[in-house]
Structure 1
Amino acid sequence: MKVERSALPGVLIIVPDRFKDGRGFFSESWNYKSMKLHGVDMQFVQDNHSLSASLGTIRGLHFQAPPFAQAKLVRCGRGRLFDVVVDIRVGSPTYGKWMGEELSFENGKQLYIPTGFLHGFVTREPNTEIVYKCSNYYSPECDGSVRFDDPDINVDWGVGSLEPVLSEKDASAPLLKGFNSPFVFEGS
């Protein structure tokens, strides 16, 4: 397993080993002991799997507030997506900054996203599946979002002139400006 630190503190890019033979490959997508060696001491309680049928589908930018805040381990089960993370921890030197990583079935990359970050993605191929583990259960009362096209964050989704496919919730999400983040930066 290869683990890289990203430009945002706490966010990790993980590439599990793939053991290939004539049948295909085997890969261990999660191993508690291995991840603990890289500073991720996390118990996941929920797995999610979604399919986006159209190229250019954007889901995000989402978060769950305490007491149901969620860390996530995200991977692409089929197709290709660009995964985006935005720091919303008040007092963080990277508050409002974003980073993105292409996740695909082919590259096998995963992204570990701690609590205190917005999360979203855009599909780069039709029929793209995202699979992710969550450290806490979904709570509608704690669910929140920030606009995917917020000019202060300025995420480059890489969709060009393609009209993004959005949910009503994502299209009408509030901007980061004036947002009262429930997360506080507690140092590196």
Structure 2
Amino acid sequence: MTARETLPGLWELPLEATSSDATALIPPDLGATVGHPLDVGHIHHVQGMLGVVHGLRFSPLPRPADWAYLTCSRGEVLVLVVDVRVGSPSFGRHHEVRLAARASEPPDTTATGTATAPPATATAPPTTATAPPAAGLYVGAGLAHGFTALVDDSVLTHLGPRGRRPEKDRLVHAFDPSLKLPWPIDTGAGNDRSVLTLPPEGADAPLLTALKKASRLPTWADWRTHPTERG
């Protein structure tokens, strides 16, 4: 397997890296790469529609933060991951990656979470992600992630450890101007959308600076001592 670490604790798996075991949700040797076992005890699916942005979601440290593995089980999505660990050398930086379902995979009929939302203006330029889509993304503790569908009715699948409770996660506003995130204005659907939408909880999410001021962000020191990280 050839995985690459793009931010501390964020590992991207190219499609060719998992071609030898196309039936595995998580490549069996990924645990050795990231430094801890990846025993999946939680799976949920989020349905994404064109023009809707989900996130940015993160778990507080030191608890109950834990890892997540993201893969696209239908269609294609753009995932943006932001380092929100105070004191991190890459604090506020982001990484973008496209995740695409393999052509051989059947559509996932168990997806939940279709969002309808009031409009929220996105001022970022169209995405510049031109690299081939990846098969999966390991998101370590202390990183925030969000996504939007690049193909209508796409499904993003989240895998995590036993006891994972995404409803306990915190949110950073996905359109925080300080982050300059490249959400796509042109969705590729043949019509140029100048406005993207957020689910209600995302539209009410605080900005990064407000969370930092309130000491509601994870810290680099906590991440380094978290049991799922190599430190």
Scaled by the length of structure 1, the TM-score of the pair is: 0.85
CA distance in structure 2 between the partners assigned to 1:4 and 1:139 by the alignment: 25
For residues 18-70 of structure 1, give each alpha carbon's deviation from its aligned partner in whole angstroms, at most 9, with x where no partner exists. 25xxxxx94323244x1132134133321111212x21221000112242213
What does residue 174 of structure 1 align with? 206
Corresponding position of 2:116: none
Q: CA-atom RMSD, angstroms?
A: 2.1
Inter-partner Cα distance in structure 1 for 2:84 and 2:42? 23
Task: Please identify which structure carries the higher strand content.
Answer: 1
Work out the CA distance in 2 between the residues paired with 1:95 and 1:117: 10
The aligned counterpart of 2:52 is 57
Give the CA deviation at 1:112. 0.4
Match of 2:208, SS state, is coil
TM-score, normalised via structure 2 length: 0.70
Matches within 5 A, 1:1-188: 1-6=1-6, 8-15=7-14, 16-18=17-19, 26-32=22-28, 34-41=29-36, 42-52=38-48, 54-66=49-61, 67-106=63-102, 107=133, 109-135=135-161, 136-138=163-165, 140=167, 142-160=168-186, 162=193, 163-179=195-211, 180-186=215-221
The higher relative CO (CA closer than 8 Å, separation ≥ 6) is in: 2
Amino acid at match of 1:81: V
The answer to which structure has the higher helix fraction is 2
1:22 matched residue in structure 2:
none
Structure 1 gaps of 5+ residues are 20-24
Task: Provide the identity percentage.
Answer: 23
Q: Which amino acid aligns with 1:175?
A: L
